[in-house]
A and B are shown apart, each in its own frame.
Chain A
Amino acid sequence: MNRDSLITLKKISKRYGSREVLSNISLSLRQGECIMIRGSNGSGKSTLLKIVAGLIPFTAGERQLAHAKLVIGYAPDHLARLRMTSTEYLTHMGRLSRMPKEQLQTRIEQLHAFFNLEQSKSLKMTHFSKGMLQKVNLMQATLHDPELLVLDEPLSGLDKESVQHLLSSLQQIKAAGTSILAAVHDTLLASELGGTTFWIKQGRLENSNMQAAALHSSQLSSVAAAQKSVEKGAVFELLLELSEQQLQHLTHLFPEVVWSKERHGLMTAIVLQKDYYSLMSEMVQQKIEMISLQRKEVAK
Protein backbone atom coordinates (compact mmCIF):
# COMPACT_ATOMS: atom_id res chain seq x y z
CA MET A 1 0.00 0.00 0.00
CA ASN A 2 1.27 3.48 -0.88
CA ARG A 3 2.02 5.62 2.14
CA ASP A 4 -0.39 8.38 1.04
CA SER A 5 -3.18 6.08 -0.06
CA LEU A 6 -6.48 6.26 1.79
CA ILE A 7 -7.61 3.01 0.28
CA THR A 8 -5.94 0.41 -1.89
CA LEU A 9 -7.54 -2.46 -3.75
CA LYS A 10 -5.19 -5.25 -4.78
CA LYS A 11 -6.26 -7.74 -7.45
CA ILE A 12 -9.88 -7.66 -6.33
CA SER A 13 -12.22 -10.11 -8.06
CA LYS A 14 -15.91 -10.50 -7.54
CA ARG A 15 -17.98 -13.45 -8.70
CA TYR A 16 -21.71 -14.08 -8.52
CA GLY A 17 -21.94 -17.82 -9.09
CA SER A 18 -20.12 -18.50 -12.33
CA ARG A 19 -20.37 -14.89 -13.51
CA GLU A 20 -17.25 -12.83 -12.89
CA VAL A 21 -18.30 -9.21 -12.43
CA LEU A 22 -14.89 -7.81 -11.50
CA SER A 23 -11.55 -9.32 -12.37
CA ASN A 24 -8.15 -8.43 -10.89
CA ILE A 25 -9.03 -4.85 -10.04
CA SER A 26 -6.18 -2.86 -8.53
CA LEU A 27 -6.84 0.71 -7.51
CA SER A 28 -5.35 3.20 -5.12
CA LEU A 29 -6.86 6.47 -3.96
CA ARG A 30 -4.86 9.18 -2.21
CA GLN A 31 -6.10 12.01 -0.07
CA GLY A 32 -7.73 14.76 -2.12
CA GLU A 33 -7.64 12.62 -5.25
CA CYS A 34 -10.62 12.23 -7.52
CA ILE A 35 -11.28 9.07 -9.50
CA MET A 36 -14.15 8.55 -11.93
CA ILE A 37 -15.29 5.09 -12.92
CA ARG A 38 -17.07 4.76 -16.23
CA GLY A 39 -18.62 1.83 -18.00
CA SER A 40 -21.79 0.58 -19.58
CA ASN A 41 -24.83 -0.59 -17.60
CA GLY A 42 -24.09 -3.77 -15.66
CA SER A 43 -20.33 -3.40 -16.14
CA GLY A 44 -19.68 -3.61 -12.39
CA LYS A 45 -19.26 0.07 -11.43
CA SER A 46 -21.69 -0.07 -8.50
CA THR A 47 -20.23 -3.39 -7.34
CA LEU A 48 -16.76 -1.85 -7.28
CA LEU A 49 -18.03 1.14 -5.31
CA LYS A 50 -19.76 -1.11 -2.78
CA ILE A 51 -16.54 -3.08 -2.33
CA VAL A 52 -14.62 0.15 -1.76
CA ALA A 53 -17.23 1.26 0.81
CA GLY A 54 -17.02 -2.17 2.49
CA LEU A 55 -20.69 -2.95 1.84
CA ILE A 56 -20.18 -6.24 0.07
CA PRO A 57 -17.48 -8.91 0.31
CA PHE A 58 -15.17 -9.73 -2.59
CA THR A 59 -14.22 -13.16 -3.90
CA ALA A 60 -10.47 -12.65 -4.10
CA GLY A 61 -7.90 -9.94 -3.51
CA GLU A 62 -7.16 -7.46 -0.78
CA ARG A 63 -8.70 -4.19 0.45
CA GLN A 64 -6.45 -2.01 2.58
CA LEU A 65 -7.48 1.14 4.43
CA ALA A 66 -5.10 3.90 5.55
CA HIS A 67 -6.36 3.40 9.09
CA ALA A 68 -9.08 1.38 10.80
CA LYS A 69 -11.30 4.41 11.44
CA LEU A 70 -11.31 5.77 7.89
CA VAL A 71 -14.53 7.76 7.47
CA ILE A 72 -16.24 6.77 4.23
CA GLY A 73 -19.31 8.60 3.00
CA TYR A 74 -21.42 6.62 0.56
CA ALA A 75 -24.16 8.02 -1.63
CA PRO A 76 -26.12 5.30 -3.49
CA ASP A 77 -27.53 5.99 -6.96
CA HIS A 78 -30.84 7.01 -5.41
CA LEU A 79 -32.25 7.62 -1.97
CA ALA A 80 -35.58 6.15 -0.93
CA ARG A 81 -38.42 8.63 -0.36
CA LEU A 82 -38.80 8.20 3.38
CA ARG A 83 -41.79 9.48 5.31
CA MET A 84 -39.70 11.91 7.32
CA THR A 85 -38.18 15.34 6.88
CA SER A 86 -34.57 15.76 5.79
CA THR A 87 -33.75 17.07 9.28
CA GLU A 88 -35.29 14.00 10.94
CA TYR A 89 -33.52 11.70 8.50
CA LEU A 90 -30.12 13.31 9.00
CA THR A 91 -30.64 13.36 12.77
CA HIS A 92 -31.27 9.61 12.70
CA MET A 93 -28.21 8.97 10.53
CA GLY A 94 -26.04 11.20 12.72
CA ARG A 95 -27.22 9.51 15.90
CA LEU A 96 -26.46 6.12 14.32
CA SER A 97 -22.91 7.40 13.71
CA ARG A 98 -22.76 8.46 17.39
CA MET A 99 -22.28 12.15 16.58
CA PRO A 100 -22.70 14.40 19.64
CA LYS A 101 -26.16 15.99 19.69
CA GLU A 102 -25.11 19.65 19.46
CA GLN A 103 -22.47 19.00 16.82
CA LEU A 104 -25.05 17.06 14.82
CA GLN A 105 -27.63 19.86 14.93
CA THR A 106 -25.04 22.41 13.83
CA ARG A 107 -23.84 20.16 11.03
CA ILE A 108 -27.40 19.57 9.79
CA GLU A 109 -28.00 23.34 9.70
CA GLN A 110 -24.71 23.84 7.82
CA LEU A 111 -25.55 21.15 5.27
CA HIS A 112 -29.04 22.53 4.62
CA ALA A 113 -27.48 25.93 3.97
CA PHE A 114 -24.64 24.46 1.87
CA PHE A 115 -27.01 22.49 -0.36
CA ASN A 116 -29.57 25.28 -0.48
CA LEU A 117 -32.33 23.22 1.12
CA GLU A 118 -33.14 25.48 4.05
CA GLN A 119 -36.66 26.16 2.79
CA SER A 120 -37.49 22.46 2.58
CA LYS A 121 -36.11 21.14 5.83
CA SER A 122 -39.56 20.78 7.39
CA LEU A 123 -41.02 19.12 4.29
CA LYS A 124 -41.34 15.35 4.21
CA MET A 125 -38.96 13.64 1.80
CA THR A 126 -41.92 11.97 0.07
CA HIS A 127 -42.62 15.39 -1.47
CA PHE A 128 -39.02 15.96 -2.59
CA SER A 129 -37.99 16.13 -6.25
CA LYS A 130 -35.22 13.85 -7.51
CA GLY A 131 -32.71 16.69 -7.30
CA MET A 132 -33.67 17.47 -3.70
CA LEU A 133 -33.40 13.80 -2.76
CA GLN A 134 -29.97 13.62 -4.38
CA LYS A 135 -28.91 16.59 -2.28
CA VAL A 136 -30.11 14.85 0.89
CA ASN A 137 -28.22 11.79 -0.35
CA LEU A 138 -25.02 13.85 -0.52
CA MET A 139 -25.85 15.48 2.82
CA GLN A 140 -26.00 12.12 4.59
CA ALA A 141 -22.77 11.03 2.87
CA THR A 142 -20.95 14.18 4.01
CA LEU A 143 -22.58 14.35 7.46
CA HIS A 144 -19.45 13.04 9.11
CA ASP A 145 -16.89 15.07 7.05
CA PRO A 146 -15.70 11.93 5.26
CA GLU A 147 -12.14 11.40 4.15
CA LEU A 148 -13.42 9.41 1.18
CA LEU A 149 -16.68 10.11 -0.59
CA VAL A 150 -18.05 7.26 -2.71
CA LEU A 151 -20.73 8.40 -5.16
CA ASP A 152 -22.82 6.15 -7.37
CA GLU A 153 -23.96 8.15 -10.40
CA PRO A 154 -24.62 11.33 -8.44
CA LEU A 155 -25.90 13.33 -11.42
CA SER A 156 -28.16 10.77 -13.08
CA GLY A 157 -31.66 11.97 -13.87
CA LEU A 158 -31.15 15.50 -12.58
CA ASP A 159 -32.19 18.67 -14.36
CA LYS A 160 -29.62 21.24 -15.51
CA GLU A 161 -30.04 23.52 -12.52
CA SER A 162 -29.68 20.69 -10.00
CA VAL A 163 -26.63 19.37 -11.87
CA GLN A 164 -24.94 22.79 -11.73
CA HIS A 165 -25.62 23.15 -8.03
CA LEU A 166 -24.47 19.64 -7.20
CA LEU A 167 -21.33 20.13 -9.29
CA SER A 168 -20.39 23.29 -7.45
CA SER A 169 -21.11 21.56 -4.12
CA LEU A 170 -18.88 18.64 -5.08
CA GLN A 171 -16.14 21.03 -6.20
CA GLN A 172 -16.22 22.67 -2.77
CA ILE A 173 -16.16 19.27 -1.04
CA LYS A 174 -13.17 18.28 -3.16
CA ALA A 175 -11.44 21.58 -2.47
CA ALA A 176 -11.77 20.86 1.25
CA GLY A 177 -9.51 17.82 0.71
CA THR A 178 -12.06 15.02 0.49
CA SER A 179 -11.15 12.21 -1.88
CA ILE A 180 -13.91 11.32 -4.31
CA LEU A 181 -14.57 8.04 -6.06
CA ALA A 182 -17.57 8.24 -8.37
CA ALA A 183 -19.28 6.02 -10.89
CA VAL A 184 -20.49 8.16 -13.78
CA HIS A 185 -22.15 7.66 -17.13
CA ASP A 186 -21.09 10.85 -18.85
CA THR A 187 -18.00 13.05 -18.92
CA LEU A 188 -19.53 16.04 -17.16
CA LEU A 189 -18.48 15.19 -13.61
CA ALA A 190 -15.04 14.06 -14.78
CA SER A 191 -14.46 17.28 -16.68
CA GLU A 192 -15.66 19.45 -13.78
CA LEU A 193 -13.82 17.67 -10.98
CA GLY A 194 -10.74 16.58 -12.93
CA GLY A 195 -8.75 13.61 -11.68
CA THR A 196 -8.34 10.22 -13.29
CA THR A 197 -10.97 8.39 -15.27
CA PHE A 198 -11.08 4.60 -15.46
CA TRP A 199 -13.24 2.40 -17.61
CA ILE A 200 -14.61 -0.92 -16.54
CA LYS A 201 -14.82 -3.26 -19.47
CA GLN A 202 -15.66 -6.92 -19.05
CA GLY A 203 -14.81 -6.68 -15.39
CA ARG A 204 -11.39 -5.15 -15.93
CA LEU A 205 -10.27 -1.66 -15.09
CA GLU A 206 -8.69 0.41 -17.84
CA ASN A 207 -7.19 3.82 -17.37
CA SER A 208 -8.76 5.96 -20.08
CA ASN A 209 -6.22 8.72 -19.53
CA MET A 210 -3.40 6.28 -20.32
CA GLN A 211 -5.31 5.13 -23.35
CA ALA A 212 -5.84 8.70 -24.42
CA ALA A 213 -2.18 9.49 -23.78
CA ALA A 214 -1.11 6.54 -25.92
CA LEU A 215 -3.34 7.68 -28.69
CA HIS A 216 -2.11 11.23 -28.29
CA SER A 217 1.57 10.31 -28.52
CA SER A 218 1.01 8.27 -31.65
CA GLN A 219 -0.80 11.18 -33.13
CA LEU A 220 2.04 13.59 -32.42
CA SER A 221 4.25 11.64 -34.79
CA SER A 222 1.52 11.65 -37.36
CA VAL A 223 -0.11 14.36 -39.43
CA ALA A 224 -1.69 17.63 -38.26
CA ALA A 225 -5.16 16.23 -38.73
CA ALA A 226 -4.50 13.83 -35.89
CA GLN A 227 -3.73 16.71 -33.54
CA LYS A 228 -7.02 18.27 -34.46
CA SER A 229 -8.70 15.01 -33.63
CA VAL A 230 -7.24 14.93 -30.14
CA GLU A 231 -8.12 18.57 -29.59
CA LYS A 232 -11.68 17.62 -30.36
CA GLY A 233 -11.22 14.81 -27.89
CA ALA A 234 -13.25 12.26 -29.85
CA VAL A 235 -12.51 8.61 -30.53
CA PHE A 236 -14.81 5.99 -31.97
CA GLU A 237 -15.23 2.51 -30.61
CA LEU A 238 -16.43 -0.05 -33.13
CA LEU A 239 -17.43 -3.62 -32.42
CA LEU A 240 -16.80 -5.66 -35.56
CA GLU A 241 -17.16 -9.15 -36.89
CA LEU A 242 -14.26 -9.79 -39.26
CA SER A 243 -11.94 -12.52 -40.46
CA GLU A 244 -8.20 -12.79 -39.73
CA GLN A 245 -7.40 -11.66 -43.30
CA GLN A 246 -9.66 -8.65 -43.03
CA LEU A 247 -8.03 -7.77 -39.71
CA GLN A 248 -4.56 -7.94 -41.23
CA HIS A 249 -5.70 -5.82 -44.15
CA LEU A 250 -7.16 -3.13 -41.89
CA THR A 251 -4.16 -3.22 -39.52
CA HIS A 252 -1.91 -2.60 -42.51
CA LEU A 253 -4.04 0.29 -43.79
CA PHE A 254 -4.72 1.86 -40.39
CA PRO A 255 -1.72 1.27 -38.13
CA GLU A 256 -3.00 3.69 -35.46
CA VAL A 257 -6.21 1.85 -34.84
CA VAL A 258 -6.12 0.00 -31.50
CA TRP A 259 -7.54 -3.53 -31.73
CA SER A 260 -8.70 -5.80 -28.96
CA LYS A 261 -10.35 -9.19 -28.94
CA GLU A 262 -13.84 -9.55 -27.52
CA ARG A 263 -16.00 -12.57 -26.81
CA HIS A 264 -17.58 -14.67 -29.57
CA GLY A 265 -14.74 -13.85 -31.98
CA LEU A 266 -15.64 -10.16 -32.21
CA MET A 267 -13.06 -7.36 -32.33
CA THR A 268 -13.14 -3.87 -30.90
CA ALA A 269 -11.44 -1.10 -32.83
CA ILE A 270 -10.65 2.24 -31.23
CA VAL A 271 -10.35 4.76 -34.04
CA LEU A 272 -9.26 8.37 -34.10
CA GLN A 273 -11.47 10.83 -35.87
CA LYS A 274 -8.94 11.27 -38.70
CA ASP A 275 -9.14 7.58 -39.60
CA TYR A 276 -12.85 7.21 -38.99
CA TYR A 277 -14.25 8.06 -42.43
CA SER A 278 -11.65 6.13 -44.43
CA LEU A 279 -11.98 3.12 -42.13
CA MET A 280 -15.76 3.14 -42.52
CA SER A 281 -15.43 3.37 -46.27
CA GLU A 282 -12.93 0.48 -46.30
CA MET A 283 -15.24 -1.59 -44.14
CA VAL A 284 -18.10 -1.11 -46.56
CA GLN A 285 -15.87 -2.20 -49.44
CA GLN A 286 -14.67 -5.24 -47.51
CA LYS A 287 -18.27 -6.06 -46.45
CA ILE A 288 -17.28 -6.13 -42.80
CA GLU A 289 -20.20 -6.34 -40.44
CA MET A 290 -20.36 -3.73 -37.70
CA ILE A 291 -22.14 -4.73 -34.48
CA SER A 292 -21.99 -1.38 -32.70
CA LEU A 293 -20.50 2.07 -32.94
CA GLN A 294 -19.91 4.46 -30.07
CA ARG A 295 -18.45 7.96 -30.02
CA LYS A 296 -16.40 8.67 -26.92
CA GLU A 297 -15.00 11.84 -25.50
CA VAL A 298 -11.40 11.43 -24.41
CA ALA A 299 -10.52 13.00 -21.06
CA LYS A 300 -7.82 15.62 -21.61
Chain B
Amino acid sequence: MIALLSYLHSCYIRSYRFGPPVFIFLFGITFIYMVVPNPVMESYSFSISFLFVISAAISYSMMDIEAPSQEAVTMLHAGSFIRTTFGKLLYSWLFTLPLALFAVLYPALFNKFDRVAGLDELTLSLLYHLAGSWLGITLACWFSSKLVRSRTTSFLSLSLVIVVAFCVSPLEKELPDSLKPLKWLLPPLDEIIQLLFHFEDATLASKLLALAAPLLYGTILCALFLMLLNKRRLDSL
Protein backbone atom coordinates (compact mmCIF):
# COMPACT_ATOMS: atom_id res chain seq x y z
CA MET B 1 0.00 0.00 0.00
CA ILE B 2 2.92 2.37 0.71
CA ALA B 3 4.18 1.90 -2.87
CA LEU B 4 0.72 2.70 -4.21
CA LEU B 5 0.36 5.77 -1.98
CA SER B 6 3.80 6.96 -3.05
CA TYR B 7 2.87 6.59 -6.74
CA LEU B 8 -0.47 8.37 -6.23
CA HIS B 9 1.32 11.14 -4.33
CA SER B 10 3.70 11.66 -7.29
CA CYS B 11 0.77 11.76 -9.72
CA TYR B 12 -1.35 14.10 -7.59
CA ILE B 13 1.38 16.55 -6.60
CA ARG B 14 2.71 16.77 -10.16
CA SER B 15 -0.76 17.26 -11.59
CA TYR B 16 -1.15 20.46 -9.51
CA ARG B 17 -4.82 19.54 -9.03
CA PHE B 18 -4.35 20.01 -5.32
CA GLY B 19 -3.68 23.73 -5.84
CA PRO B 20 -7.21 25.21 -6.00
CA PRO B 21 -8.79 23.29 -3.07
CA VAL B 22 -5.72 23.70 -0.82
CA PHE B 23 -5.34 27.40 -1.63
CA ILE B 24 -9.06 28.08 -1.11
CA PHE B 25 -8.99 26.22 2.22
CA LEU B 26 -5.88 27.91 3.60
CA PHE B 27 -7.00 31.33 2.39
CA GLY B 28 -10.53 30.76 3.70
CA ILE B 29 -9.36 29.72 7.17
CA THR B 30 -6.92 32.62 7.57
CA PHE B 31 -9.54 35.05 6.23
CA ILE B 32 -12.23 33.85 8.65
CA TYR B 33 -9.91 34.23 11.65
CA MET B 34 -8.91 37.77 10.70
CA VAL B 35 -11.68 38.93 13.00
CA VAL B 36 -10.98 38.07 16.66
CA PRO B 37 -12.01 36.84 19.16
CA ASN B 38 -13.97 33.72 18.10
CA PRO B 39 -15.80 31.03 20.07
CA VAL B 40 -13.75 27.81 20.06
CA MET B 41 -16.04 24.93 19.13
CA GLU B 42 -18.43 26.97 16.99
CA SER B 43 -15.44 28.11 14.91
CA TYR B 44 -14.34 24.52 14.54
CA SER B 45 -17.81 23.55 13.33
CA PHE B 46 -17.30 26.04 10.49
CA SER B 47 -13.84 24.71 9.58
CA ILE B 48 -15.17 21.12 9.65
CA SER B 49 -17.93 22.07 7.20
CA PHE B 50 -15.36 23.84 5.04
CA LEU B 51 -13.01 20.84 5.11
CA PHE B 52 -15.92 18.54 4.24
CA VAL B 53 -16.47 20.46 0.98
CA ILE B 54 -12.74 20.72 0.22
CA SER B 55 -12.28 16.98 0.86
CA ALA B 56 -15.09 16.22 -1.57
CA ALA B 57 -13.28 18.34 -4.18
CA ILE B 58 -9.98 16.55 -3.50
CA SER B 59 -11.61 13.11 -3.77
CA TYR B 60 -13.50 14.14 -6.92
CA SER B 61 -10.23 15.07 -8.66
CA MET B 62 -8.20 12.22 -7.14
CA MET B 63 -10.48 9.43 -8.38
CA ASP B 64 -9.82 10.46 -11.99
CA ILE B 65 -6.15 11.32 -11.53
CA GLU B 66 -5.05 8.57 -13.94
CA ALA B 67 -5.89 8.27 -17.63
CA PRO B 68 -7.96 5.11 -18.30
CA SER B 69 -5.06 3.42 -20.08
CA GLN B 70 -2.72 4.10 -17.15
CA GLU B 71 -5.38 2.94 -14.70
CA ALA B 72 -5.40 -0.45 -16.46
CA VAL B 73 -1.60 -0.65 -16.20
CA THR B 74 -1.63 0.35 -12.51
CA MET B 75 -4.31 -2.23 -11.78
CA LEU B 76 -2.29 -5.03 -13.42
CA HIS B 77 0.89 -4.08 -11.56
CA ALA B 78 -0.87 -3.64 -8.21
CA GLY B 79 -2.74 -6.90 -8.81
CA SER B 80 -6.09 -5.67 -7.55
CA PHE B 81 -8.60 -3.08 -8.62
CA ILE B 82 -9.98 -2.81 -5.09
CA ARG B 83 -6.51 -2.01 -3.76
CA THR B 84 -5.84 0.73 -6.31
CA THR B 85 -9.25 2.34 -5.79
CA PHE B 86 -9.04 2.11 -2.00
CA GLY B 87 -5.54 3.56 -2.25
CA LYS B 88 -6.98 6.64 -3.94
CA LEU B 89 -9.56 7.11 -1.20
CA LEU B 90 -6.98 6.56 1.53
CA TYR B 91 -4.55 8.96 -0.12
CA SER B 92 -7.27 11.63 -0.38
CA TRP B 93 -7.98 11.21 3.34
CA LEU B 94 -4.30 11.36 4.28
CA PHE B 95 -3.98 14.47 2.12
CA THR B 96 -6.61 16.20 4.26
CA LEU B 97 -4.68 15.43 7.48
CA PRO B 98 -2.36 18.48 7.23
CA LEU B 99 -5.37 20.63 6.29
CA ALA B 100 -7.22 19.39 9.39
CA LEU B 101 -4.14 20.07 11.52
CA PHE B 102 -3.92 23.57 10.11
CA ALA B 103 -7.61 24.22 10.77
CA VAL B 104 -7.22 23.07 14.39
CA LEU B 105 -3.82 24.51 15.28
CA TYR B 106 -3.76 27.83 13.42
CA PRO B 107 -6.46 29.56 15.50
CA ALA B 108 -5.24 27.91 18.70
CA LEU B 109 -1.59 28.90 18.26
CA PHE B 110 -2.25 32.40 16.94
CA ASN B 111 -4.75 33.34 19.69
CA LYS B 112 -7.77 33.65 17.46
CA PHE B 113 -10.15 32.33 20.12
CA ASP B 114 -11.86 34.10 23.00
CA ARG B 115 -10.21 31.67 25.43
CA VAL B 116 -7.46 29.05 25.50
CA ALA B 117 -8.67 25.78 23.97
CA GLY B 118 -8.08 22.66 26.09
CA LEU B 119 -6.03 19.72 24.83
CA ASP B 120 -9.12 17.48 24.90
CA GLU B 121 -11.00 20.03 22.78
CA LEU B 122 -8.15 20.26 20.30
CA THR B 123 -7.83 16.48 20.05
CA LEU B 124 -11.56 15.92 19.61
CA SER B 125 -11.77 18.75 17.09
CA LEU B 126 -8.98 17.19 15.02
CA LEU B 127 -10.84 13.88 15.04
CA TYR B 128 -14.08 15.60 14.04
CA HIS B 129 -12.25 17.32 11.18
CA LEU B 130 -10.92 13.97 9.99
CA ALA B 131 -14.36 12.35 10.31
CA GLY B 132 -15.84 15.19 8.25
CA SER B 133 -13.16 14.88 5.57
CA TRP B 134 -13.64 11.08 5.39
CA LEU B 135 -17.36 11.68 4.85
CA GLY B 136 -16.67 14.21 2.08
CA ILE B 137 -14.20 11.87 0.35
CA THR B 138 -16.45 8.80 0.41
CA LEU B 139 -19.43 10.81 -0.81
CA ALA B 140 -17.56 12.41 -3.70
CA CYS B 141 -16.07 9.15 -5.03
CA TRP B 142 -19.57 8.12 -6.15
CA PHE B 143 -19.60 11.06 -8.55
CA SER B 144 -16.30 10.34 -10.32
CA SER B 145 -16.28 9.47 -14.01
CA LYS B 146 -16.22 5.78 -13.07
CA LEU B 147 -19.92 5.88 -12.25
CA VAL B 148 -21.17 9.14 -13.79
CA ARG B 149 -19.87 9.79 -17.29
CA SER B 150 -21.08 13.37 -17.72
CA ARG B 151 -18.92 15.87 -15.85
CA THR B 152 -21.80 18.36 -15.64
CA THR B 153 -24.21 15.79 -14.19
CA SER B 154 -21.65 14.51 -11.69
CA PHE B 155 -20.67 18.03 -10.55
CA LEU B 156 -24.28 19.16 -10.13
CA SER B 157 -25.26 15.92 -8.37
CA LEU B 158 -22.33 16.15 -5.98
CA SER B 159 -23.15 19.81 -5.25
CA LEU B 160 -26.74 18.81 -4.46
CA VAL B 161 -25.61 16.03 -2.10
CA ILE B 162 -23.27 18.46 -0.32
CA VAL B 163 -26.11 20.95 0.12
CA VAL B 164 -28.40 18.16 1.42
CA ALA B 165 -25.68 17.13 3.91
CA PHE B 166 -25.85 20.63 5.40
CA CYS B 167 -29.65 20.62 5.55
CA VAL B 168 -30.39 17.34 7.30
CA SER B 169 -31.95 18.97 10.41
CA PRO B 170 -34.31 21.33 8.49
CA LEU B 171 -35.22 18.45 6.16
CA GLU B 172 -35.99 16.20 9.11
CA LYS B 173 -38.35 18.83 10.55
CA GLU B 174 -40.24 19.01 7.25
CA LEU B 175 -40.63 15.25 6.95
CA PRO B 176 -43.80 13.54 8.29
CA ASP B 177 -43.21 11.31 11.34
CA SER B 178 -43.47 8.12 9.30
CA LEU B 179 -40.59 9.25 7.05
CA LYS B 180 -38.35 10.69 9.75
CA PRO B 181 -36.19 7.49 9.95
CA LEU B 182 -35.07 8.36 6.38
CA LYS B 183 -32.80 10.90 8.06
CA TRP B 184 -30.39 8.04 8.82
CA LEU B 185 -29.84 7.56 5.09
CA LEU B 186 -28.53 11.11 4.73
CA PRO B 187 -24.87 12.06 5.37
CA PRO B 188 -24.44 12.66 9.12
CA LEU B 189 -22.40 15.87 8.87
CA ASP B 190 -25.09 17.69 10.81
CA GLU B 191 -24.37 15.44 13.84
CA ILE B 192 -20.94 17.05 14.24
CA ILE B 193 -22.09 20.62 13.56
CA GLN B 194 -25.01 20.46 16.01
CA LEU B 195 -22.81 18.86 18.66
CA LEU B 196 -20.11 21.52 18.40
CA PHE B 197 -22.69 24.27 18.82
CA HIS B 198 -23.79 22.62 22.10
CA PHE B 199 -20.45 21.11 23.07
CA GLU B 200 -20.50 22.26 26.70
CA ASP B 201 -23.82 20.47 27.39
CA ALA B 202 -23.09 17.34 25.34
CA THR B 203 -22.56 13.97 27.02
CA LEU B 204 -19.53 11.78 26.26
CA ALA B 205 -21.81 9.32 24.46
CA SER B 206 -23.18 12.00 22.15
CA LYS B 207 -19.64 13.28 21.50
CA LEU B 208 -18.52 9.78 20.52
CA LEU B 209 -21.66 9.20 18.44
CA ALA B 210 -21.00 12.41 16.50
CA LEU B 211 -17.53 11.08 15.76
CA ALA B 212 -18.54 7.50 14.94
CA ALA B 213 -21.55 8.34 12.74
CA PRO B 214 -19.65 10.01 9.85
CA LEU B 215 -16.81 7.51 10.09
CA LEU B 216 -19.21 4.56 9.93
CA TYR B 217 -21.37 6.17 7.23
CA GLY B 218 -18.24 6.91 5.16
CA THR B 219 -16.90 3.39 5.63
CA ILE B 220 -20.19 1.86 4.47
CA LEU B 221 -20.19 4.16 1.41
CA CYS B 222 -16.57 3.18 0.71
CA ALA B 223 -17.30 -0.55 1.00
CA LEU B 224 -20.32 -0.32 -1.31
CA PHE B 225 -18.33 1.74 -3.82
CA LEU B 226 -15.47 -0.77 -3.86
CA MET B 227 -17.87 -3.71 -4.21
CA LEU B 228 -19.61 -2.06 -7.15
CA LEU B 229 -16.36 -1.12 -8.87
CA ASN B 230 -14.84 -4.55 -8.28
CA LYS B 231 -17.79 -6.05 -10.14
CA ARG B 232 -17.39 -3.65 -13.06
CA ARG B 233 -13.60 -3.31 -12.87
CA LEU B 234 -12.49 -1.12 -15.77
CA ASP B 235 -15.76 -1.51 -17.67
CA SER B 236 -16.70 1.96 -16.58
CA LEU B 237 -13.79 3.53 -18.45
| Nearest chain B residue, comparing its CB with the CB of A53 | B76
The answer to whether A206 has its CB under 8 Å from any CB of chain B is no
Interface of B is mostly: helix
Partner of B234, one of A56, A80, A82, A88: A56
Instruction: Note all chain B residues with C-beta closer than 8 A to A77.
Output: 69
Pick from B6, B7, B76, B232: contact of A74, CB under 8 Å: B76
Q: In B3-19, which residues have CB < 8 Å from any A CB? A: 3-4, 6-7, 10-11, 14-15
Q: Which of B11, B69, B74, B233 contacts A57 (CB 8 A)?
A: B233
With contacts A57-B232, A97-B77 known, is A74 near B72, CB below 8 A?
yes
What is the size, in residues, of chain B's interface with A at 8 Å between Cβ atoms? 25
Q: B6 contacts which chain A residues (CB < 8 A)? A: 92, 95
Number of residues of chain A lying within 8 A (CB) of chain B: 28
B73, A74: Cβ atoms closer than 8 Å = yes
**Interface digits, A264-300 against B, CB 8 Å rule (1 contact, 0 not)?**
0000000000000000000000000000000000000
Tell me whether A232 is interfacial, beta carbon within 8 Å: no
Contact B72 A55, beta carbon cutoff 8 Å: yes
If A56-B233, A92-B6, A95-B3 touch, whether A80 touches B70 (CB-CB below 8 Å) is yes
Question: What is the bound-complex CA distance between A78 and B79, given in angstroms?
Answer: 20
Q: Which of A83, A94, A140 is B14 in contact with, Cβ under 8 Å?
A: A83
Chain A residues, Cβ within 8 Å of B232: 57
Enumerate chain B interface residues (CB-CB to A < 8 A): 3-4, 6-7, 10-11, 14-15, 66-67, 69-70, 72-79, 231-235
The 6 A-B pairs of least Cβ separation, nearest first, read A76-B69, A80-B67, A95-B3, A83-B14, A96-B77, A92-B7
Q: Name 27 interchain pairs, CB-CB below 8 A, sorted by A.
A: A53-B72, A54-B76, A55-B72, A55-B76, A56-B235, A72-B76, A73-B76, A74-B73, A76-B70, A76-B72, A79-B69, A82-B70, A83-B14, A84-B10, A84-B14, A88-B10, A92-B6, A92-B10, A93-B74, A93-B77, A94-B77, A96-B7, A96-B77, A97-B77, A97-B79, A140-B77, A141-B73
